[in-house]
Every structure is written in structure tokens, then in C-alpha cells.
Structure 1
Amino acid sequence: MKRAEARRWLALAVLGLAAAGILGLFLWLRAGEAPADGPAPPASAASTRGARCLRARDAPPPTLGSIAGRVADAAGSPVAGALVCASASGGASGLTPFDLGEPTCAPAGEDGRYQIADLSPARWTIFASAPGHRPASYTSPAPDRARWLDLRQGEARTSVDLTLVRGGVEVRGHVKDVSGGPIAGALVMIHGFLGSHQGAAVTRSDAEGSFSAWTEEGYCLARATADGYAEGSQHGMAPGPPLEISMTPGSVIEGRVVEAGSGAPIAGATVRPGMAQRWGPGEVKPVSSDAEGRFRIPGLPPGRYKPTARAAGGHGQARASVVLGIGQTASEVVIEMHPASSVAGRVEVAPGGGPCASGSVTLFHEGSGWLPTVLGADGSARFEGVLPGSYQVVVLCQDHASEPAYPAVEVGEADIEGLVWTVRAGLSLRGRVVDREDKPVRAMVHASPTDMGRMQPMQPGPVGQSDDDGRFVLRGLLPGKHRVMAHSNDHIPPEPVMVEVVDERAPEITLVMDSGGRVEGTVTDEDRRPVAGADVMLSAQQPGWGGPPRKSLADGTFVIKGVAPGAYRIWAMQGGMPMRAPGQAGGGDPGVAVTVKAGAAARVSLVVERQNGEIHGRVVDGSSRPVADAFVNVQREPEGAGEPGAPAPPPPPPESMGPYAPVLTDPDGEFVIGNLGRGTYTVQAQRRGGGRAAVEHVEVGRTVTLTIQETGTVSGAVSSPGGAPPDQFTIRVTGREAPFFRNESFSFTDGAWTMSDLPAGRYELAADAPEGTATGEVTLAQGEQRSGVVLTLAGRVALRGQVVSLEDGAPMAGVTVHAYPRAGGMAPSPVQQHEVTDGAGHFHLDRVPRGPLALMLMPADPMSSAFDAAMIPVDVQPGAETDVGRLFMAKRRMKHDEPPGDLGFAVEPPRSPMDVAMRPHKVVEVRRDGPAAAAGLQVGDVIVSVDGHDVTGKLGYLVGPLLRVPAGTRVTLGLSRGARVALVAAAMPPPPGVGQGGIEAAPGPP
């Protein structure tokens, strides 16, 4: 597995960053909330603005309303006992399960009718579920087709009808606290792979903590809430092994919101916990301050928080972050409110189409974060507590096309009213998703323009769902060429269909999904006992299949559907590492070969070693006193880890608890982690009040002591040459020798900052503000309190360059260039620092930080482009502008879905994607009898060129695309020792069988 992992790192590092951007999209589209852990938008003006009236106006309590309707099946018959729920939702997207807050529910009667009473005026998402049926959510009639409804004060809304289709599968599970005890009465929401488009199945845990509900077959996510606990979640497959949801006692932040200077209480301010670091799952909703300015935020997972508050005319943030342990309360947190502006506008459909009632507007500020809000029924958007600065705008409107760009909003001291952002009705594309026999397939369908430069940043493109007849409609497309894709749980993803949409007369399209074959089997240990919950992985030796891992059931069985015909490798994993076969000594790739034929089931039996090992231990502090509130986890190490000459795997993030479920230390600081296979593990302990410890290379059966040493503090100031300190800035701390990263924002502190709870070590410091950036270094001894560290901002500068082809130097137009800082991590969003190359390949970025940057180059159409994306390091020099000259993009050497060839060696993997371009490409493994061994490549060789192209220093990013070649391709490597070796890529080797270090393959059931 070491060879495969190292081989994939170079290929996936850049693409992983793009995937991270997609994840960020889904996070910011959540129901109109500001980011829980993001910094507040920064300001460029000093805090000496004139005083304003910050106190929110008193409002009378709202008159409650109700929602009523009928639940029926597809034939119109009532679904008695169906549970109908209403969840207050921003409704900006409906793309993520976290759009749905804790619901209010009511059962349907024998006639299918229901009523949900005592609902506040708000935007509500309505969904229903019942045993033997698939969940469904309410969609308003055409032309709106909104997936929610707006309830006015005292309104009694009727005829909110839902249709439940028979089918689905049952999901079972348990809700327990972190000590293992059951949690009764927990509300559990289960979402299928269609997310909030599909609604959710809702149930409650019984006295034993058990729950059951029916949902869509395939991937599912279960969320649990209970009084006194932080929200818990767990994902899995339906059907699959029971979902085990672990919950921690909820922590609490209490405090006051006051006016800066006077200390007068601010009522009605919206307060968010401002999560700076997060150790547990869950989503925490904002609260409002009362008449005395007091607030209470319950149900928080353990972690570090920095509460923020916004109100009409004001914005504030706590001066210092708060660290909460399990069930701990932080009281008397004070948030001082400073004058800020309001920004208001509306989204209209042009020309003359009226308001957009279903969407969102997000304001972005350079280098610091974002502020989203959902639209009202009249298309209005309002932002409170916005500080001066230049804000970019992203507009989304359901079923409409956004403009590629909108004018920036320049915020000063005065409120801004009457802004108008237009969207276009766009065009529609209709079609069907069917299988090879023309039977309908339920799938998610997505369209995106082939020219990504025509989309505003973070615009997802139209997303739809085919119905039970396989029909779908995608709305809001811009004229031009689009790529249409579909995804289903149990079919092979079809090749994307290219469609040119000119007007509404576009012909209907058909996406044909092949059901392919399937793989069935069992996972058992050497005593033939079933292994439940193992991740069963299927890796294509030929292209055509992909998807999430399937988990083995309680009886060890598994089924993987929708597999393209071809040869594959299949293996079981636990804790992020392959499970070994009995007696396996290590080395070689895991798994067994399996051949899948169309319409047939391939049967395999995976036999693995016993999973009965345990690691015992104790967690103590620096004075050897037991730590009773630490979470402990283990991470399986690759075979041979810790042996002389073995490469160190990339370390996990410091706040990551690893793939195994964590355990809590007892009052004596002791713990036991079981169900482990043979091998060595890294054991990690993390105290919720700050501090962590880790011990590597711990063998199963050993007892280990982890010592959490006293942490230290670094504090100082951010200054601007010749000017006042910035009102808003961010400090990032990155470990230079050990994995550590922390990002924290500061507001109205006169430039002062403090970063606490730091273990001993050497750190890189980075400050980021609208006025500029700064970096520095500090070495911290155990428990040291370092003060007086001054970071002096250097102004931002312009950056220009040209993107050309590596092979012939031809200019490349339409390439999107994103800028990230290499120092201190990837904090700024690429939305603020991006540009598209012109016809001559030139680009120009106006305001980038000085120092080391990474430029990510993305072709206009990444899927069909002949070029790979690239992450290129550059250094921005002082001065008005830096010209980085020509930047090279390498052509792909293999087709998009072509299987890679095997060169028979692996290089040392980078520690991070930012590191991929700069480190020497040192060979750490040469596979015996492979092409590299035959050519004379040796462990320890350093590759300096590939086919005559220099790959040293800042050109190191070229190694990935130059070495991704199909079988039969000749590659010449230049080495630092002066030699040149020629290799011919071979076909990927078949997986080992019994006696070759693989998992035993046994005959499957008849």
C-alpha cells in the first residue's frame, strides 16, 4: 500500500485542492448562516467612526401559525402514521443535509391528514417519512417549484401535500454518549444520497438508544440531537451495519453583548459561537441577546471558540478565544460592539421578471471570509454589521442563471440601500435517465458549462433529480455548450453528454446508465467469524467504476452494484488501512483479483486476520497527574513504519482524531482501545482544554503512557507602517517541525493578538489584513509565555505572468489562476484572488500578498482539457508589481479514463499539497522485477528531469503529469548522480493471491 499511496500523491495533490473548493461550496450554501468558524469580514478604516444607535428595536412576540395537508402514496391512498416534519431553513440551496434544523413533527392520521401547529413566521422545509416508503420533501407548485414555504405571522397554510413512494430500505442504529451509555429520546434525522432534495427520515431513539427508519438505498447520513448534548452524526450505507452515533455532553458559552466604550447592553444581536477549532461533529445555530444583552449558546461540541455578534449598526467579536472541555461552561464572555454598516438590496430576474424568491447573496472580502444571507420572498437581501471595505458579490437564484460577475460593493461608514443584482431566467434542458432496457433510473443530474470562465466563482450549475419515470428538468442554463452528468447508487456513471443549448427548443436528451455487474461476498476472520463494518474497496484495473466504499453487514456480507465489466482488485479496510490476511508478512498490494461480467454477480470471500487486539494506556499531564477528560484514538501505521530507512507517512492534522472512534479516559486517566488487527499504531490523546500528545509505533498488546505537557502562549501586535493598526486581521500559526496549524481572527484589538495553548516547538507566524500581510518565526519552550512579537504588515502588490504549454510554448487562454499563500496555510479563499488568462495566456492579479505564493492553474474545461491542473510556487517580491514570467502546463500523456501504467517505483510523498512542488523527488521504493529495477533505478536516487524536462526546485510540480503515462510508454529519467535511465511502463501488476502477501481468496457461496 505504501507504493500505491506514494504513487497517488503527486497525481491527487492538485485535484484534492479543487475538491476542497467543492466542499467549501456546500458549506457556504448552508441555510443562510454565516460561517461558524470563519473570520468576520475585515475593515480598512480605523475604529474611530462616529457613534451609532446600536440597540435593536424591541419587537412584539410573533403570532404563531400552522401548516396542514395530506400524505398519500403514488396511487393517492393515504399513508397513515407518516411522520411529517417542518424544519426552519434558510432555503438558500437545499443541497446539504445541514440545511435542515431540528424539526417540529406531527403524525398523519388514518386519512393521511396532518397539522403542524405553533410555528413561528419563517421559511420552512417540509418533509415526510414512513416505514416501507422513501422519504420525500415538499415542493411548491409551478412556476415557483421552491423546496420550502414562507409562513407569515398567524398564517394557517393548508394543502401542503406530500407524496411518499413505496420502497426504500430500513436503517438501524444506536445513539450513545462518549462513555458508551445509551441516549434515550434522541431525535435522529437520516438523509439519503440526494441530500435535502429528498428530505429526511425522522425517528427517536428508544430507552436502549436504538433507532430505526426507512430511507433511500445507498449512502446515508444520520444526525442526532438530544437535550444536554452536542449534535452527533455518522454516515454509512443503507442497507448496512447499524449506525453508531456517539455524542458528547454539550458545552455552553454565556456572556453579554455591550456597546464599546459605554458598556450599554445590546439587545437583539445575533451571536454565533465563532468556532475557531472543532473537535466534534455538529451544527450550532446562532442565538439572540436578550434585553440585558445576555446570551447563552448551548449544545457545543468541545473545542475552541471566538463568539461574534452582529446587529443593526454594529459588529463585535470577543477579544480572546474560549476553549471548552466536555460539558464545560464558559461564562461572562464579553463582546463589544463597534459601529458598522448595513447593506441591503434585492435580486431581480431580468428583463422584467420580478424578484427572485429562492436564493442567496454572499459578500466576500479580500483575504478574510464571507457573509451570506438568504433571500426573502420579495427577493430582498440584507446584511447587518458590515465593516468598511470592498466586497465581491456572489448571487445564486434557484433555476436561474447568475451573471459571471457583479460589481463590488464598496462599504464605508454609511448604510447602503437599494442595490440590485440581476439574474436571468436562463434556458431549460429536459431529458430522461434510463437503463439499457429503457427502464427509468432515479439519479442526480448536473450540468455545467464547458467554459468555466463563464461562471461566477463557486457557482455550482443546475442540479436536478430524475423522478420515478426517469425524467428531469435542469433550469437556469446559459446559452452555450454544457456537460450533463448523472449519478446513481447502483448504476455505472454514464459518459457525460455534451449539449449545446441555444434556446428553449433544445431537444430532450437521454442519459443511459448501465447496471453492469456486481460483486458479492463476505469478510470473515481466520476463525471464519464475520467481520462487520469493514470498508470494502473496489479498485479498477480497467476504467469504468468508482464510488464510495461499501460496508460489510453484521454477518460479514457485502454487495457492490453498478460495476462496469472488467478486472478489479478488491480488499477490506479498517481504520484507514488495508486489513491483512492471516500470516501476511507485509509488502505488496492488498486484495484479490475479481473479474466482473455484465449482468452477473462475481463472488469473493475476503479472509482477514483476527481483530481482537487491544492497546491499553494512561494519559497524564506534565506533573504525572491523570487526565480524565482526554479523547484517545489510534491510527494504523503502514507496514514497516518505524523501521530504519522507512519513509515517514504524511502526519495527520493535529486536531484530527483519526479513523477509529475515540474513547474517553476514565477518572484515573486510563483507556482501552480494542478490535484492532495486528501491527503498529500511532496513539493520540487530546485534552479538550488544550494540549495533545502522540506516541508512534505502538504494537498491539502494549501499554503506553501519553504525557500532555504544559502548553505555552505567544502574543504581540500587528502594525502598519505609518498608519493605525488594522481593525480586522487574522493570525495563522503553523508548526515548522511538527504538524500544527491554527487560524484565529481578531477584531478591534488595536492590533493586539494572543495565540494560546501551543505545544513547545518552532512556529511560523502569518498575519493577514486588508492593509497587507506579514510573516515571522518564533521558537516556544514548554509552557513559555512569549510576548512582544510584532508583525509589521507589508502592502499587497500586483502579480502578472503568462501561462504556456510546456511542450511547445504556445499561450493558453481561458486558464483560471488562483493565488494562495504558501506560508501559514491556505487561509484566503481563491474567490478573492483569481483571474482568467486572455488570448495570449496573460493574467494579472491586483492585490496579492508579498512572499511565497502558490498559483493553482485550472484549464477552462478540466474534464476535456488536454492539460492537467498545476500548483506552481512563485515568490512575490517587494515593489509595485511582480512578473513571474512564463508558467508551464504539461499536456496529459494519457486519456481521461485510461488506466495508468506502472513504472515500478515510488518517490517520497509530500507532507502537504503545498509541499508537492518544492521537495526533491527522492526514490523511496523500487519494486522488484518492475521496470524501474530493470533499468537500474535505485532507492535514494533523486529525479532531476523527465524526458528532458527539468523537474527540480519550482518546476517540481511537473513530475506528476510527466510520469502519468499508459502502459507501453517509454520514460527517461535524469538523476542527480548524473545517470539517465529509460523505463517502459508496464501494465499494473495483478494483485497478489494466497502466499503473496494478499488477502486470502476463498470460493464464494454457490
Structure 2
Amino acid sequence: MQTPCRCPRSAPSRPRVRQAGTPMGVTPGSKLHRLDRTGRTREQTMARLSLLVVAGLLAAWASSWTLGPAPLLASASAAVAVGDVSADAAVGAAAPWQGLPLLSWRGRVLDAEGAPLPSAQAWLIPNGRTLQRLGYFPRPYAQFIGLGSDPPHRLDYAPLERMPHAVSDADGRFVLEAPRLPMRSMGGTFAFGLPDPVLVITAPGHGAAIRRIEPWREGCLDLGSVSLREQGVCVGEVLDASGMPLAGAVVRAEYGVGYPQRASEGISSRDVFDNLRAVLPELHEVTTDAQGRFRIEGLFPATYTLGALAPGHVRARVAWVEVAEGALASGVVFRLEPAAPVAGRVLDAAGAPVADLEVLATTRTQVHAGQGCVITPITDEHDGIPIEVLQVDRWDAVVTRTDADGAFRLGATPPGALSLYAHGPGWEVARVRGVTAAEQPIELVIQPAARLELKLRSQGSEPQLLDPWILARRITGTGDNVPLQVLPGQGPGEFVVVGVGPLGTELLLHAPGHASQQAIVTAEQAAQSGPALLELARAWPLQAVVLDQAGLPRAGVVVSLSAHGVRSDGSMSLFSRLRSVSGERGRVTFADIPASVYRLNVERLGSWLLVGESVVVDMPSGQPLSGVELVVEDTGSIEVTALYPDGRPAEDCVVAVLEPGVWRSGLLKRELKLASRGWNFSRDDGTARITRLPAGEYDVSVDYEAPVRVSVTAGESSEITLRVDR
């Protein structure tokens, strides 16, 4: 367990803005007025990498429960009317997107047999920064290693009816026009939410699916085909404590737990892990009829937890509901116990009511901060109340909003002592603990949130920045800093950060053509009159070319750029890995790269493999870098089918590909994996595929048995069937 950070609440004797060590590629020439360059920020511990367990990921993805159609993303400003952008809509007609860069995504929806699905619905949920620009306030998303290709661990929910939308034609094809603003991380965390857009697809009689749209691609994107499986259906009833049916109860498929119990052939664990994120209230939430019966359709085959809620009753759940493909899961019965309400009002310091605030009640007290396996106990030295609200498990919380008189009523509170929170944009969190349903109306007094005024300008000859933006987080003294609302100021390059706390504010500053910069602003600095002035240094493009071994340019190769060590002058870039795809002439361009040392590599997303080690380059200060060559070679693959002696598919067998002469009898599992060129587990049908193998001879071993020699040709797949004796 991590030792808690000890952040003093008292101000230093000299008010200052303290720049964080070296993150985000701060160049030596960057200027930041009222900055002290001597120390490193405590909050760089946010760059810790750890593994997340599946349960932790699911918990992070939790969405809120309401009895009404309240949005699950709190609005960061006044309501934004966002209309649909259908396949035949003109770009200019999409008023909500005007002023934002638009991309076009094309795709095709098929069934499991490969037949086109007409009238399929497709929505695109933009990345977190785009949602924030449109008036939403997504919750943060952190990237971690050890999970293979990164699926959407959380789906930053926004109402689908307000997202770009298209309907597939008779051939199953659709086109979506939608905005995408670039995102970069702050210490490994995307405080604006999910960094990539997410495609949500449904069709009558089929389970909902999602696809994450990778961030390095540009222009008109061909998403290829998306296959939908036949839906699973769940039916049941909701009863009260006496056994009478409850009409009008809300039943939701809350989340999927674990992987399917081999209920359907050909469903991979990755498919389940991805598509369970398509469990959304608008798609999988229903209301019971007069007999208390419900029917939830459009479920991807997996194991689910269902929840039911009715006015005046305590929420109930039924776990481990197995939903198979093309099957009906029945017999689910909820019995809801009566609940006593909790009511009250939220007032400001002058006694005036405050409307449209979120009020939530929970029986659980948040005592730790952090994500995954790295946590910090919350103590009195921390700014803990914002963390409590951020990390409330909304599957267990009861949520409502205040009306025009500041009044609220929570009608389904669970028994026991409650922690009650009221919060909203522009206000500090108000909290009352130890509330019970039997008490008199509760009065919560809420204070306006403190604000920080900022002004950004360029160090270049033209001081005005083009489309600058700021990411801000409230320092809490723990591993969890809370994302803050950033509003435009009155003049060019001016911003207002809302909700700054007593321990300071962490800022990430961006502008096209300039080096991203990170800084810490103390509470005393935020309290000074007038905006704090910050200047960004210029940055330049880094260009490379991808060539094959014959010297010919290669298109469609995904190249990554990441920080590599420290330059001689001490500068270092800590922005998250960037990706780009080579064009027709093999060219790859990364824009706005500050001076630092970088590593270029070829991603494991295609058949091309970098020849030799990754290429390390030193980006100079004050000029672009070009002429970097990446030499790649085409690779092949091996498709292995493992069978038992009686001809049945052998599933979950270790399939390893080794260099000739490496295998020996008694090789341990760990040794086999370390020595292999590639390995995998056989699927339900006994097949396993090992990719990205350079041309040559290899030994293939199944379940640690004596290998068989196989030849691999570049650009081709070699197939082999092996028997397993066990």
C-alpha cells in the first residue's frame, strides 16, 4: 500500500506557480510567468502503471441510477442541443458540430453468417475532450499495461439520442460524420474521459456491439464490417414484499460479469470483454407492465447482473443470469422491500435554493483513493470529499436532482446510515454523514466553487494562440486528482478553471504548433486578482518514412512515437504514446513534437515488422525533424488446429512457435513462453493463430509435446493440424 502524500494545507511563505518537473515535453526555452522551476510535483505519481483486475474495470465503468431520464454525464455548462448526423445529412447542417473538425467513418453491419443487416442503428460517442466541448463532463480514464490491446475499459456515457447517428442501408452500409478533438494524457490519465471514439451498433434481433475507433487514423475511415450475433433475451417479473406484482418498475441489465459459460460456439473472450461495454440504459433498460413482467432484448451472450428499482422500494439485484445466444433466459424474480424516503433542500450560504444539483446517497464510505492495485488511504491531510463523490459506486448509490426550490427526495434509500452529497458545476461538494430515513428533512448548505483565471499566449512572433485548450485537475494529495471544469474567458486565450481546491491545481496546456506544458498552481496563486499569464514554446513536426527491405515505401503501417530517456540538457517528454499510419509514399508525420528523445516503433497491428531494434531519435529545439527511415519486413502466420485422438477440438491448449532447436523435453511453461517467437491458447474449436512471424522455418509445439517443423512464407498463412494426447 502506498504511503499517503503529505501535502500541507498552509501556504508557502512566497506565493508561486510551481512547474511540474519535466512532463509533457516542456522545452528548455518555455516561459511560464510566476513559475518556480526548482521542484518536481508530488502528483507525478499519477504516472504509475499497474494491472487492473476485470472487476475493477467494471466498477470504474459504473453509471448512475435514476428513476427519470437524467443524463449520466453531468453537464459542464448550460444544456447543449446536439442533433443527429445521419448518413445523408450535410456536414454544414450539423449545427452542434460547427467549428469542430469533422471526420467521416464508413462501415458495414453483418450478421454472424456474413449477410448484410439493413436498418441497423449506429451511434458514435466522441472522445472525452469532444464531449466536454459539447457540454458534458466525462469522468477520467486511465491507461494501464498488461491487458493486451486496450478495449474501452469504460464507456463515457452520453445520451445516444444526442450523438451522431446513422442507419444502415439494404446492403448493411452506413456513414457517420462526427467531430473528434485531439487528446493527450496528464500523467497517464485522460481526465476528459475515454481517449478514443466508440461506435455503438444495434439491430433488431441481435445483441448490441461496440467498436473502439483507434486514435491515430485520419480522414475518411473505412471501419470494415462489424458482425452482430443473435441476441439473447431475458424475461422475469418484479414483485413487492407481499408477492404482488409491481407495475412501472425499472429493470436494467447493469453489467456483465465474467465470460460466458461456453454457451455459444465461436465467441472469444475478447468479444465478450468488448461488447459488454455496450450494455447501456437506453438499450437495455425496460419498465414492467401491469403484471410486473419485463423483457430485456438485444443482449450479447454472456453472464449478467440485473437490477430493479421502483418508487418507494429498495433496489434489488439478481446476479449470474446466464444469457445464451438465440436463447431465452427466464425465471428471474425480484422481490423489492419497502424503503423510507430521505428528503431535504440544498441552499447557498445566503439561504437561497440551488436548483439542478445532483444529490446522491450511499451507505458506503470511500476510504481509499487510487485505481487498480495502487491505492492510498484518505486522511485529513487530503482534499478527500471530491474523491468520495468521484469514486462513489453508482450501482449502490441512489441519485436524484434538486428542483427549482432546491428540494430533493430520495425514495429508494437502503437501510442504514447514509452519506449524502450534493454537487454540480460551479459548486463545492456539500456532504452530510450519518443520515437515516427516519430523520426530519435534511438541509445541505453549498458554497460556490473557487475559480482560477488563466491567459495563454505564444512565445513566437504572433503571441495569440490558435485554438488553445486546457486540461485541469484538482490536487487532492492522493493518487486521484479530480478533473475540473474549464470555461472560456472573456478574451482570446483566456480561460476560467472552476472548482480549484486548497492544495492547488494541476494544469495541462495545449495549442497547435506548440509544446504541451504541465504546471501546478497553488491556492494562493489562484486567489490573486487578474489572470495568471502562461506562455507556450513552439513545437515542430517529426517526419519519418517507412520502407521495405527493397527500399520501396510501404503504406498502412502503424507507427508509434514514445518518450525514450532524457536529453543531455535534462529535458524529457512524458506525453502518452502517439500513433500514426504511413501514407501512400510511406510517410508518417507527428505534429507538435517538443524537443526530447523519442523512440519510433512499428505497432503489432498488422503483418509488418520492424527490422532490428526500435529507432531512437533526438528531436532538436526550434526546427522540424525529417528523414528518419524505418525499415520493415512482411511477415506470415501459422494457423494451428489441435485435436484430441478421437477428433474432438482440443481447447485451451498452449500453442507455441519456437526457433528450430530450442524445444526440449520437460520445458516449463514459463520457459516455453520466454523462448517462443509467439504463443497462444487454442479456442473452443481447437484453433490458434500465431502472427507476425518472419519468413523461415519454425517448430510448433502443442501442450508442451514434441514439435513439428513448419515453413512460413511472408504474406501467407501456414496451416497445420496436430493431435494432442491427454
- Please confirm whether the aligned pair reaches a TM-score higher than 0.5, indicating the same fold: yes
Given that residues 348 and 420 in structure 1 are in contact (C-alpha distance below 8 angstroms), is that contact kept between their aligned partners in structure 2?
A: yes
> Is 2:405 aligned against 1:475?
no
Given that residues 594 and 602 in structure 1 are in contact (C-alpha distance below 8 angstroms), is that contact kept between their aligned partners in structure 2?
A: no
Structure 2 residue corresponding to 1:699, chosen from 619, 629, 633: 619
Given that residues 523 and 572 in structure 1 are in contact (C-alpha distance below 8 angstroms), is that contact kept between their aligned partners in structure 2?
A: no
Q: Alpha-carbon deviation of 1:560?
A: 1.8
CA distance in 1, matches of 2:55, 2:451: 31
Given that residues 491 and 563 in structure 1 are in contact (C-alpha distance below 8 angstroms), is that contact kept between their aligned partners in structure 2?
A: no
The aligned residue for residue 286 of structure 2 is 375
CA distance in 2, matches of 1:509, 1:793: 70
Which amino acid letter does the alignment assign opposite residue 607 of structure 1? E
CA distance in 2, matches of 1:345, 1:625: 62
The aligned residue for residue 398 of structure 2 is 462
Distance 1:624 1:15, change over 3 A: same
Q: Alpha-carbon deviation of 1:728?
A: 11
The aligned residue for residue 262 of structure 1 is none
Structure 2 residue corresponding to 1:606, chosen from 527, 530, 534: 534
Structure 2 residue corresponding to 1:626, chosen from 546, 549, 553: 553
The aligned residue for residue 346 of structure 1 is 237
The aligned residue for residue 561 of structure 1 is 498
The aligned residue for residue 21 of structure 1 is 58
CA distance in 2, matches of 1:744, 1:576: 45
Distance 1:560 1:752, change over 3 A: same
CA distance in 1, matches of 2:312, 2:725: 42
> Is 2:566 aligned against 1:641?
yes
SS of the equivalent of 1:750 reads coil
Distance 1:571 1:11, change over 3 A: closer
State the Cα deviation string for residues 360-385 of structure 1 (Å, max 9, x = none).
13574643445953324525444679
Q: Alpha-carbon deviation of 1:705?
A: 3.3
Given that residues 361 and 399 in structure 2 are in contact (C-alpha distance below 8 angstroms), is that contact kept between their aligned partners in structure 1?
A: yes
Trace 1:194-593 onto structure 2 (pairs within 5 A): 194=74, 200-202=80-82, 226-227=87-88, 244-254=100-110, 257=113, 295-296=172-173, 299=176, 311=205, 327-328=221-222, 343-351=234-242, 352=244, 354-361=246-253, 364=256, 366-368=258-260, 369=272, 370=276, 373-376=284-287, 378=289, 380-382=293-295, 391=303, 393-397=305-309, 405-406=317-318, 408-409=320-321, 417-424=330-337, 426-441=339-354, 442-450=356-364, 459-494=395-430, 496-503=431-438, 506-527=439-460, 529-531=463-465, 532-535=467-470, 537=472, 540=475, 546-548=482-484, 550=486, 555-564=492-501, 566=502, 568=504, 571-574=507-510, 590-591=519-520
CA distance in 2, matches of 1:482, 1:667: 61
Given that residues 536 and 552 in structure 1 are in contact (C-alpha distance below 8 angstroms), is that contact kept between their aligned partners in structure 2?
A: no
What root-mean-square deviation, in Å, do the aligned CA atoms of Structure 1 and Structure 2 show?
6.6
Distance 1:356 1:255, change over 3 A: closer
Which amino acid letter does the alignment assign opposite residue 525 of structure 1? S
Q: Alpha-carbon deviation of 1:21?
A: 3.2
Using the size of structure 2 for normalisation, the TM-score is 0.55
Given that residues 615 and 674 in structure 1 are in contact (C-alpha distance below 8 angstroms), is that contact kept between their aligned partners in structure 2?
A: yes
The aligned residue for residue 713 of structure 1 is 637
The aligned residue for residue 544 of structure 2 is 617
The aligned residue for residue 139 of structure 1 is none
> Is 2:589 aligned against 1:678?
no
State the Cα deviation string for residues 380-421 of structure 1 (Å, max 9, x = none).
4446799999x4532143657666653644679985545322
State the Cα deviation string for residues 788-831 of structure 1 (Å, max 9, x = none).
5989999xxxxxxxxxxxxxxxxxxxxxxxxxxxxxxxxxxxxx
State the Cα deviation string for residues 215-255 of structure 1 (Å, max 9, x = none).
xxxxxxxx86654999xx9x99xxxxx96344134133556
State the Cα deviation string for residues 139-162 of structure 1 (Å, max 9, x = none).
xxxxxx6439xxxxxxxxxxxxxx
Distance 1:447 1:580, change over 3 A: same
CA distance in 2, matches of 1:675, 1:648: 12
Given that residues 361 and 375 in structure 1 are in contact (C-alpha distance below 8 angstroms), is that contact kept between their aligned partners in structure 2?
A: no
The aligned residue for residue 69 of structure 2 is 147
State the Cα deviation string for residues 116-169 of structure 1 (Å, max 9, x = none).
xxxxxxxxxxxxxxxxxxxxxxxxxxxxx6439xxxxxxxxxxxxxxxxxxxxx
Trace 1:710-749 onto structure 2 (pairs within 5 A): 710-717=634-641, 725=649
Distance 1:669 1:388, change over 3 A: closer
State the Cα deviation string for residues 844-881 of structure 1 (Å, max 9, x = none).
xxxxxxxxxxxxxxxxxxxxxxxxxxxxxxxxxxxxxx
State the Cα deviation string for residues 750-785 of structure 1 (Å, max 9, x = none).
33244656899xxxx9x9xxxxx99xx999998684
The aligned residue for residue 8 of structure 1 is 45
Distance 1:387 1:562, change over 3 A: closer
State the Cα deviation string for residues 291-349 of structure 1 (Å, max 9, x = none).
xxx7556659999999999959x999xxxxxxx99654858x99897xx9854223344
> Is 2:524 aligned against 1:595?
yes
Q: Alpha-carbon deviation of 1:529?
A: 0.9
Q: Alpha-carbon deviation of 1:687?
A: 10
Given that residues 595 and 602 in structure 1 are in contact (C-alpha distance below 8 angstroms), is that contact kept between their aligned partners in structure 2?
A: no
The aligned residue for residue 371 of structure 2 is none
The number of equivalent residue pairs is 549
CA distance in 1, matches of 2:435, 2:724: 53
CA distance in 2, matches of 1:304, 1:732: 34
Using the size of structure 1 for normalisation, the TM-score is 0.42
The aligned residue for residue 377 of structure 2 is none
Q: Alpha-carbon deviation of 1:480?
A: 0.9
Sequence identity, in percent? 17
CA distance in 2, matches of 1:465, 1:665: 49
Which consecutive residues of structure 2, in runs of 5 or more, have no partner in the other structure?
Answer: 1-20, 23-39, 126-148, 179-195, 210-216, 261-271, 367-391, 658-669
Q: Alpha-carbon deviation of 1:436?
A: 2.2
SS of the equivalent of 1:21 reads helix
CA distance in 2, matches of 1:592, 1:719: 63
Distance 1:386 1:524, change over 3 A: closer
CA distance in 2, matches of 1:474, 1:742: 53
Q: Alpha-carbon deviation of 1:714?
A: 4.7
Given that residues 534 and 551 in structure 1 are in contact (C-alpha distance below 8 angstroms), is that contact kept between their aligned partners in structure 2?
A: no
CA distance in 2, matches of 1:590, 1:277: 29
CA distance in 1, matches of 2:500, 2:557: 43
Distance 1:744 1:498, change over 3 A: farther
CA distance in 2, matches of 1:603, 1:714: 61
Which amino acid letter does the alignment assign opposite residue 715 of structure 1? E
Q: Alpha-carbon deviation of 1:498?
A: 1.1
SS of the equivalent of 1:641 reads coil
Q: Alpha-carbon deviation of 1:524?
A: 1.7
Q: Alpha-carbon deviation of 1:595?
A: 0.7
Q: Which has the higher contact order (CA 8 A, sep 6+)?
A: 2
CA distance in 1, matches of 2:576, 2:724: 32
